[in-house]
């Protein structure tokens, strides 16, 4: 066998190996362009696990939640307003990110006091003030964001009614200096953070907090980014969904590239 032929075969083997690795890591590589760390799309249509399609931070359904096909993008989870029924995601240091963006589509009924996301432990009252991620719905049906910096409370009260039986997109953007509230892609409140947000090793609760405060309605397309998205980026995510940021068709790309390589090196 000629040396040039052996060399070509070795080069081909290396390239194919790299492409195979791309299949395994394609999701993370693609998502990293906006820092998408986790995306829960609620497409399982059954079972007790909500899959994180980006990095495997799967959520466990506690209590009784109902799967439905009436989501904003396909499937969704229906929350009953019971404090023992929510989605729990175990702690990972990525959720202490500074900065970050949290997004969720919600269709909430006009119930009194509800929770979108909580991260400050599994008991109430909370043992210490270290809220890094906290979004709830006031009894008057507008969103409230809260956070802690060295135990001191930061807060934004929104202006838009979101517990009205309609779909709304809620986003919390923290850029290291300021916290912004976006509702349906528009700025609804902004405050200085007061410093670096406190962190913890607490799990994420989606749809409730300890102490029997819970959401009544549908959740879809919940995501966590390790970047502070721009308004244009946020609106693109809102309009097109998280799936496009969470996966690439690596298999198709591999088949095309393999055909080209065979033609080049035969």
Calpha distance 143→113 (Å, rounded): 10
Q: How confident is the model at residue 218 (pLDDT cuts 50, 70, 90)?
A: very high
What is the distance between the alpha carbons of residues 240 and 251, in angstroms, rounded to a whole number?
A: 22
What token pair was written down for 99? Answer: 């900065």
Q: Which residue has the tokens 């066998």?
A: 1
| Tens-digit pLDDT profile for residues 26-83 | 444 443 469 999 999 999 999 999 999 999 999 999 999 999 999 999 999 999 999 9
Across residues 238-263, what is the average pLDDT?
57
Burial grade of 77 (CB within 10 A; 0-12, 13-18, 19 or more): buried
pLDDT score at 259: 37
- Give pTM, 2 decimals: 0.83
Cα separations in angstroms, 106 against 122, 143, 207, 213: 23, 11, 10, 16
- pLDDT tens digit sequence for 175-199: 999 999 999 999 999 999 999 999 9
pLDDT of residue 8: 57
Please state which of the ranges 28-32, 198-202, 226-230 shows the lowest mean pLDDT: 28-32
């Amino acid at each position: 066998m000629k040396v040039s032929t052996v060399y070509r075969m070795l080069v081909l083997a290396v390239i194919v190996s790299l492409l195979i690795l791309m299949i395994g890591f394609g999701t993370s590589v693609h998502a990293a362009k906006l820092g998408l760390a986790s995306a829960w799309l609620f497409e399982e249509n059954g079972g007790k696990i909500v899959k994180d399609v980006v990095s495997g931070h799967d959520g466990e359904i506690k209590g009784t939640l109902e799967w439905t096909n009436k989501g904003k993008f396909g499937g969704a989870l229906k929350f009953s307003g019971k404090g023992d029924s929510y989605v729990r995601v175990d702690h990972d240091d990525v959720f202490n990110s500074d900065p970050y963006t949290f997004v969720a589509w919600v269709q909430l009924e006009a119930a009194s006091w509800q929770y979108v996301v909580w991260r400050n432990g599994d008991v109430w009252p909370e043992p210490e003030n270290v809220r890094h991620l906290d979004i709830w719905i006031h009894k008057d049906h507008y969103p409230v964001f809260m956070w802690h910096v060295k135990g001191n409370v930061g807060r934004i009260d929104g202006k838009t009614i979101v517990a009205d039986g309609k779909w709304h997109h809620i986003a919390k953007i923290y850029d290291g200096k300021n916290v912004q509230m976006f509702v349906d892609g528009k700025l609804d409140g902004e405050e200085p953070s007061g410093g670096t947000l406190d962190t913890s090793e607490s799990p994420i609760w989606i749809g409730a907090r300890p102490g029997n405060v819970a959401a009544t309605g549908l959740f879809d397309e919940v995501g966590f980014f390790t970047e502070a998205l721009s308004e244009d980026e946020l609106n693109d995510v809102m309009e097109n969904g998280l799936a496009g940021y969470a996966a690439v068709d690596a298999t198709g790309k591999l088949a095309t590239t393999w055909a080209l390589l065979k033609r080049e090196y035969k």
